[in-house]
C-alpha cells in the first residue's frame, strides 16, 4: 500500500513538470512563428522571392481577400508579374497558438495592406470611380481597409478607434452620408468565426460579438448584413437596434450554404431575444 502511495505521489509531481515543459516549448514556438509571419509580410512587400519560396509550403493554398486562390508557384509568380503588389503591410494583431510541444501552430490576426499607385503615378481606378457613386448614398458599408483602398482615407495617427476615425473623415468628405456601418470578425478557425457590427453616425456604437460555429458558407454574409440593416432601419426605432438585427442576420447567413440568406425574421429575433452572447448553432 505504501509503494502505491509513493508511486502516485511521484506521478503527481512529474505531471506538472511535464506540463510546464510543454507550455514552455509551445510559448517559444509561438514567438518563433510570429517572427516568421512578420518576416513573411516584409518579404511580400520587398519582393524577396528567395524568402517567400523558403517560407511557403509546397502545398500552399493562398486565398486573397476577393476569394481568388493561388498555389505556391502561381502566388509568387503573381508578385513577379505585378498582379499582387504591396506598398506596405501594417500588422495590427497577430495571435499564435502552438500545440504538441511546438510542432504545430494556428495563426490569426489583422493586417492592413496599402496598395501603391499605378505605374503612371495616377490613383487606383477605385479612387476615381467610387467617390461619384458614394456621393449619392446616405448609408455606406465601409471598413478601415475599404476606406484606404477606395478613398485613400486612413485612420488618424494615435487614434484608439480606427473605424470611427475613417468614418468621420468619410462623412466630412461626403456630407450627405448619415451612417457608416461595417462588421468586424475574429477568425478562430476555418469553422468558427466571431462577428460584431459597428456603426458611426457622429457617435460610435457597436454590438456584442456573436460566435458562429460551424461556419458553413461565408458567401453572402455582407449582403445579409446590409439587407438586415435596411430592414432593421425600417422596423426599429433606433440605429443600434437596426445594427443588432443586421449583424445577427449576417451571422445566421454563415450557417447556410449558398448566396441567399434563407433565415426568417423570427429566427433573427429569437437570437436577439435569448442568445445575445451564446454560440449560434443551426
Q: What's the CATH number where 102 sits?
A: 3.10.450.50
| Nearest to 239, CA basis, from 187, 191, 282, 178 | 178
Q: What pLDDT sits at residue 16?
A: 56
Q: Do 270 and 130 fall within a single domain?
A: yes
Q: What pLDDT sits at residue 19?
A: 57
Q: What pLDDT sits at residue 101?
A: 83
Domain membership of residue 120 (yes or no) is no
Domain membership of residue 34 (yes or no) is yes
pLDDT 10s digit of each residue in the chain, 282 long? 444 454 555 555 554 544 555 678 888 888 999 999 999 999 988 888 899 999 899 999 988 776 788 999 999 988 887 777 787 888 888 888 988 888 888 998 888 887 766 555 555 667 667 888 898 899 999 999 889 888 888 899 889 999 999 999 999 999 999 999 999 998 888 889 899 999 999 999 999 999 898 899 989 999 999 999 999 999 999 999 999 999 999 999 999 999 899 999 999 999 998 664 444 545
Last residue of a domain, one of 93, 114, 135: 114
Single pTM value for the model: 0.59
Q: Do 256 and 146 fall within a single domain?
A: yes
pLDDT digits (tens, 9 = 90+) for 101-142: 888 889 988 888 877 665 555 556 676 678 888 988 999 999
Domain membership of residue 167 (yes or no) is yes
Domain membership of residue 119 (yes or no) is no
Domain membership of residue 203 (yes or no) is yes
**Following DSSP, what letter does each residue of 253-278 receive, concatenated?**
HTTSSSSS----HHHHHHHHHH-SSS
Q: Do 207 and 169 fall within a single domain?
A: yes
Q: What pLDDT sits at residue 20?
A: 52
Q: For the chain, what is the domain count?
A: 2
Q: Are the C-beta atoms of 176 and 182 separated by less than 8 Å?
A: no
Last residue of a domain, one of 114, 147, 169: 114
Burial 24-43 (b: 16+ CB within 10 A, else e): eebeebbeebbebbeebbeb
Q: Are the C-beta atoms of 254 and 214 separated by less than 8 Å?
A: no
Q: Do 100 and 132 fall within a single domain?
A: no
Q: Do 141 and 257 fall within a single domain?
A: yes
Q: How many CA atoms lie within 13 A of 97 on its CB side?
A: 6
Residues 6+ apart with CB under 8 A from 279: 211, 212, 213
Domain membership of residue 89 (yes or no) is yes
Q: What pLDDT sits at residue 276?
A: 47
Q: Do 97 and 6 fall within a single domain?
A: yes
Q: Do 136 and 213 fall within a single domain?
A: yes
Q: Do 27 and 59 fall within a single domain?
A: yes
Give the angle subtended at the CA of 145 by the CAs of 97 and 134, to the nearest 5°.
Answer: 155
Q: Do 203 and 151 fall within a single domain?
A: yes
Q: Do 133 and 264 fall within a single domain?
A: yes
Q: What pLDDT sits at residue 228?
A: 96
Q: Do 171 and 84 fall within a single domain?
A: no
- Domain range for 37 is 2-114
Q: Do 264 and 141 fall within a single domain?
A: yes
C-alpha 119, offset from chain centre: 29
For the CA atoms of 55, 60, 66, 67, the dihedral, rounded to the nearest 10 degrees, stands at -160
Query: For position 270, which CATH number holds?
Result: 3.40.1190.20
Domain membership of residue 263 (yes or no) is yes
Q: What pLDDT sits at residue 275?
A: 62
Amino acid at each position: 500500500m505504501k509503494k502505491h502511495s509513493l508511486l502516485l505521489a511521484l506521478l503527481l509531481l512529474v505531471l506538472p513538470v511535464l506540463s510546464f515543459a510543454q507550455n514552455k516549448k509551445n510559448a517559444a514556438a509561438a514567438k518563433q512563428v510570429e517572427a516568421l509571419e512578420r518576416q513573411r509580410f516584409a518579404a511580400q512587400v520587398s519582393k524577396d522571392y528567395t524568402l517567400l519560396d523558403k517560407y511557403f509550403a509546397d502545398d500552399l493554398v493562398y486565398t486573397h481577400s476577393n476569394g481568388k486562390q493561388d498555389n505556391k508557384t502561381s502566388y509568387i509568380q503573381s508578385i513577379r508579374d505585378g498582379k499582387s503588389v504591396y506598398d506596405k503591410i501594417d500588422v495590427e494583431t497577430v495571435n499564435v497558438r502552438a500545440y504538441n510541444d511546438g510542432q504545430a501552430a494556428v495563426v490569426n490576426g489583422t493586417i492592413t495592406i496599402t496598395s501603391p499607385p499605378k505605374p503612371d503615378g495616377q490613383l487606383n481606378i477605385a479612387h476615381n470611380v467610387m467617390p461619384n457613386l458614394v456621393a449619392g448614398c446616405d448609408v455606406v458599408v465601409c471598413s478601415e481597409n475599404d476606406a484606404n483602398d477606395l478613398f485613400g482615407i486612413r485612420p488618424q495617427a494615435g487614434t484608439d478607434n480606427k473605424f470611427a476615425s475613417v468614418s468621420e473623415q468619410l462623412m466630412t468628405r461626403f456630407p450627405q452620408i448619415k451612417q457608416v456601418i461595417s462588421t468586424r470578425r475574429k477568425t478562430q478557425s476555418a469553422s468558427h468565426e466571431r462577428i460584431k457590427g459597428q456603426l458611426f453616425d457622429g457617435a460610435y456604437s457597436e454590438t456584442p460579438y456573436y460566435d458562429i460555429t460551424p461556419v458553413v458558407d461565408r458567401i453572402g454574409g455582407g449582403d445579409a448584413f446590409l439587407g438586415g440593416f435596411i430592414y432593421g432601419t425600417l422596423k426599429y426605432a433606433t440605429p443600434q437596434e437596426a445594427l443588432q438585427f443586421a449583424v445577427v442576420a449576417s451571422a445566421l447567413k454563415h450557417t447556410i450554404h449558398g448566396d441567399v440568406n434563407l433565415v426568417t425574421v423570427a429566427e433573427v429575433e429569437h437570437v436577439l431575444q435569448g442568445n445575445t452572447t451564446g454560440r449560434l448553432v443551426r
